[in-house]
Structure 1
């Protein structure tokens, strides 16, 4: 089964349905399986006094609250209906994270194939129950979480009817410093919780996502933008379209390269065995009736004669004919 690649548009449309549609086109052109947005009613998810995160303060207007920032990034439910239809017309899966109950109820009416729970909601019990009761497959991000918190969330989701759950290792910092990536935690989650795992990547560049695939990630989520120079909280930690395409191609190549684990000669290298390996050959002219010794035989290319692994089986045998120097020995 191929790695499921989510192109995370998030709020990088800056509240514009037209930019959102351009992002759909870019995600499709890059070869992503899915484009994911964020659906929310600003006043339902953040209070008037909530401060912005440090990275949000650095990348947006300094004198606005988190509520004011989010309001500018909000798309209406009607616009999400339009986006869902647009994704269908472009043959790419539409996915959006609902951040509040009104948004979840709305997104449920769109009959999405799966649901994505963001890292910030992993300790939100009523939220987890509501998502679980939709009885759909779930992708759960785990930024800022301990193993105990992940276990607690999974217990709730399973208890209330969730479908298959894929757990994404994640670090909630934009961009994530490489020292904080800790890809090994992805394998710990898989081993301890016996669930499919993936990686939600907030690092710069594409190579950490590729490394995650090599370590067994079945889902990769990566933020992208049309232009990193755009104003907004997430643009600077996002890929541009050409980079997204490079990431998708690299992931597809990596998953093919992982193979089935059986150590046998690859089809492409079979033709090189006779060229690269060696055989037992005459080290000098050998006369019929002469015994093969360590002085009159040696090992040289090509590898289409007796294998050097049979060296001691050849030593002491009698030549059944004359051999020229470098001629393949036969018994």
Structure 2
């Protein structure tokens, strides 16, 4: 995920499968038909390493977690479609597994969820991963983010991406806080991704999903479902396959409008800035006689059908020149019909009179 110049779209499956491997396979088969960059999966093998044994949700989490033996079939589907895999690992065991197969499948990144951002056991194991490490920073303080970044960099890991955004079932506009993206970028000098969780029924969902293109964001993540409208885990933020297509289309269009910071014009800009047909050119305000010295009163700015080599700012190079021949009213002023009136330099000021 280094050197991101194009948009990188991540379709997240999360726990939408609810532990049903066949459902996940079918979802992946539909997702990989999209022009996405990667499919993201949540892995959890050791539930007791994720939550306390008397947690009210532990039995539900254990039930919807897919075991190690089923993941390689899922990963093969993604790999065969030439898409990347991103693994969000919630426990050390699942991260160890990913590290053990990282060269077998196109796993472009691992992610540490904000719930375990400062879990040093996860951070330590993450350092064994050879590619991008994504840090989910939603709801995290600067101190927490700094701790994770410093830990990884202290171990020689510099391929880090911060993922802004959190799920608030769904996330309200006022909680998105796009300004934080700029703040994070300035504070940590790291690439920033955006995981949008706007209400899928919101008419502005597509726009919100890729709005940060203008802030320099190139990594975009969305929950995607192939059974839009059904009540399943993570459905509150999951968009349909068709909506994801629209998100990718709009994101690519917005990226084209960003351009680059180089002082280099496109052909369209060159045509638009063409002096004469587009920008007013310097022309004769009235007929000018041969040998006549050009003054400001002899000059006008007008659009013409012919391009001019002189730009509007060149007016002071024209004033004081002499017409080589008669110049008709509205004729372009050029150095083909003008010549400088040379004056000998006066060096008297450099000599002391005796």
Q: Which band: TM-score by shorter chain?
A: 0.7 to 0.9
The structure-2 alpha-carbon separation of the partners of 1:136 and 1:284, relative to structure 1 and needing over 3 Å to count, comes to: closer
Is contact 2:92–2:121 with CA below 8 Å preserved after alignment?
Answer: no
Residue 292 of structure 1 corresponds to 294
Counterpart position of 1:101 = 92
Q: Offset at 1:299?
A: 1.0
- Equivalent residues in 2 for 1:66-215, closer than 5 Å: 66-67=57-58, 69-71=60-62, 73-111=64-102, 112-134=107-129, 136-159=131-154, 162=157, 164-204=159-199, 205-215=205-215
Deviation at 1:171, TM superposition (A): 3.1
Q: Give, in whole Å, the separation in 2 of the partners of 1:88 and 1:170.
A: 27
Pairwise CA distance, 1:162: 4.6
Closer/same/farther in 2, CA of residues 113 and 328 from structure 1, 3 Å limit: closer
Higher mean alpha-carbon deviation, 146-155 vs 21-30, is at: 21-30
Matched, 1:311 2:306: no
Deviation larger for 83-92 or 264-273: 264-273
Of 278, 281, 303, the residue aligned with 2:280 is 278
- Aligned partners of 2:85 and 2:109 also within 8 Å: no
Q: Is the 8 A contact 1:122 1:142 kept in 2?
A: yes
**1:44-55 correspondence runs (5 A):** 44=48, 45-47=50-52, 50=55
Q: How many residues align?
A: 317
User: Against the structure 1 CA distance between its residues 79 and 300, is the aligned structure 2 distance closer, same or farther, given a 3 Å change threshold?
Assistant: same
Which gives a bigger RCO, structure 1 or 2 (Cα 8 Å, sep 6+)?
1
Computing the radius of gyration over CA atoms, which structure comes out larger, 1 or 2? Answer: 2
1:236 and 1:49 mapped to 2: Cα distance? 27
User: Aligned with 2:221: secondary structure?
Assistant: strand
Q: In structure 1, what is the Cα distance between the partners aligned to 2:30 and 2:230?
A: 16
Q: Is the 8 A contact 1:42 1:70 kept in 2?
A: no
Tell me the TM-score normalised to structure 1 length: 0.83
> How far apart are the structure 2 equivalents of 1:229 and 1:83?
24
Relative to 1, partners in 2 of residues 1:106 and 1:316: Cα closer, same or farther, differing over 3 Å? closer
Quick check: 2:280–2:312 contact (8 Å CA) kept in 1?
A: yes
* Cα distance between partner residues in 1 of 2:157 and 2:320: 73
Partner of 2:8: 4
Is the Cα–Cα contact under 8 Å of residues 141 and 200 in structure 1 kept in the other structure? no
Deviation at 1:140, TM superposition (A): 0.8
Per the alignment, in what secondary structure is the counterpart of residue 198 of structure 2?
coil
Consecutive unaligned residues in structure 1, runs of 5 or more: 52-65
> How far apart, in 2, do the equivalents of 1:294 and 1:102 lie?
81
Residues 1:107 and 1:290: Cα distance change in structure 2 (over 3 Å): closer
Q: What is the distance in 1 between the residues matched to 2:177 and 2:145?
A: 16
- Maintained 8 Å contact 2:95/2:122: no
Please list every run of 5 or more consecutive structure 2 residues that lacks an aligned counterpart in the other structure.
200-204, 339-354
Number of the residue aligned with 2:22: 18
Q: Deviations over 1:26-50 (max 9, x none)?
A: 3333221110111224843345764
Correspondence list, 1:235-254, <5 A? 235-254=235-254
Answer whether contact 2:29 2:77 (CA < 8 A) is retained.
no
Contact 2:99 2:128 in 1 (8 A): no
Q: Which moved more, 1:117-126 or 1:138-147?
A: 117-126
Q: Which has the higher helix share?
A: 1
Q: After TM superposition, which residue ranges in structure 1, 4 or more long, deviate above 6 angstroms? A: none
Q: Which moved more, 1:251-260 or 1:25-34?
A: 251-260
- Return closer, same or farther for 1:174/1:284 CA change in 2, 3 Å cut-off: same
Could you tell me how far 1:68 is from its partner in structure 2? 5.0
